[in-house]
Amino acid sequence: MNELFEEQFRFNLESSPNWEQGAAHREMITGYLIGMAGEKRGRLCILGAGNCNDLNLKRLLHAFSEIHLVDIDEVALEYAVQSQSLENESSIFLHKSDLTGVGQQLAAWGAKDSSADSNLTEIISQLSKPAKLNLPGSFDVICSTCLLSQLVHLAVKAVGDTHSRFEELMIAIRYQHVQTMIDLIGEEGAGLLVSDFVSSASAPDLLQIPDDQFEQYLSQLLSSRNFFHGVHPGVLLSLLVGNAPLANQVRDVEMLRPWRWNLGSRQYAIAAIQFYSLKRD
């Protein structure tokens, strides 16, 4: 049993009845993805799809010929298609997969005492390579939906954010994830990296703050270092622009306007970065 994954399964079970409250967040992501689909009705892949409360799959089926949903939690994926009455839809494909490839090692490391330091070296080295995902080919649009904070959370739970190598591990997870997205995009395809980066647990005014003050409020939170580990939107953007190693694989990188995600008991601020692949055959 993987304790780290079990926790994710519990989060998914608890948040599954969140369809109603998540409407505005779902509209944002679904709308951006439809805009990115273009004329072609290509193939869409969602990383961290979970319960898909953040995707209107029926609307997306008009814009894409195939939708591939990837997550470690196959129960959540099955719930996702059933709850949107799409369990018999032949254009939707469910893939159970650990997008880091190191989930088992991280859980094993977390379960042992911290003397197992050499394993951490191995885990970090494995993260410098793409995870073996066994997904069918490349995609026209790839979207990571509020997954990155959870990938970093796996490291927080396993190793602890005070460990001397936590930062190194977190940076490796983040870099691998963005590289995975780019690798999965086909010729002329597009990517949308959506990440929650702070919640009302540490920013209680998140829901009440008026729309016209929202961005300024978020800047203040970021300046006071009130955000989840590893997902500062500016740092995510910096991975894809300028002289960053990944920047020469993408074009037209754009930070979209932030929005709020209401998850019932908690609210989150969301950042999203859209980009296009430079791959040409």
Question: Judged by CB, which is closer to ligand SAM: 195, or 277?
Answer: 195
> Smallest gap, in angstroms, from Cβ of residue 96 to ligand SAM?
9
Question: Judged by CB, which is closer to ligand SAM: 57, or 237?
Answer: 57
Question: Judged by CB, which is closer to ligand SAM: 256, or 278?
Answer: 256
> Smallest gap, in angstroms, from Cβ of residue 63 to ligand SAM?
18
Question: Judged by CB, which is closer to ligand SAM: 146, or 170?
Answer: 146
Q: How far apart are the first and last CA of the chain?
A: 42
| φ, ψ (nearest 5 deg) of residue 19 | -60, -50
> Smallest gap, in angstroms, from Cβ of residue 34 to ligand SAM?
17
Residues 139 and 7: their CA atoms lie apart, in Å, by 29
> Smallest gap, in angstroms, from Cβ of residue 141 to ligand SAM?
15
Residues 37 and 31: their CA atoms lie apart, in Å, by 10
> Smallest gap, in angstroms, from Cβ of residue 79 to ligand SAM?
9
Angle at 235 between CA 23 and CA 226, to 5 degrees: 65
Tokens coding 98: 């650990």
The residue written with tokens 């090692």 in the block is: 105
Contact 104, 72 (CB under 8 A): no
Question: Judged by CB, which is closer to ligand SAM: 147, or 158?
Answer: 147
> What are the start-end ranges of the H helices in the chain?
3-15, 23-37, 57-63, 74-83, 103-111, 117-127, 148-159, 166-184, 211-223, 233-238
Question: Judged by CB, which is closer to ligand SAM: 21, or 238?
Answer: 21
Contact 238, 275 (CB under 8 A): no
Angle at 247 between CA 176 and CA 149, to 5 degrees: 35
Residues in touch with ligand SAM (CB under 6 A): 8, 12, 48-54, 71-73, 76, 98-100, 103, 145-147, 150-151
> Smallest gap, in angstroms, from Cβ of residue 83 to ligand SAM?
10
> Smallest gap, in angstroms, from Cβ of residue 60 to ligand SAM?
13
Q: Which helix (H) or strand (E) holds 20?
A: none
| Position with the least CB separation from ligand SAM | 50
| φ, ψ (nearest 5 deg) of residue 13 | -65, -45
Question: Judged by CB, which is closer to ligand SAM: 56, or 274?
Answer: 56
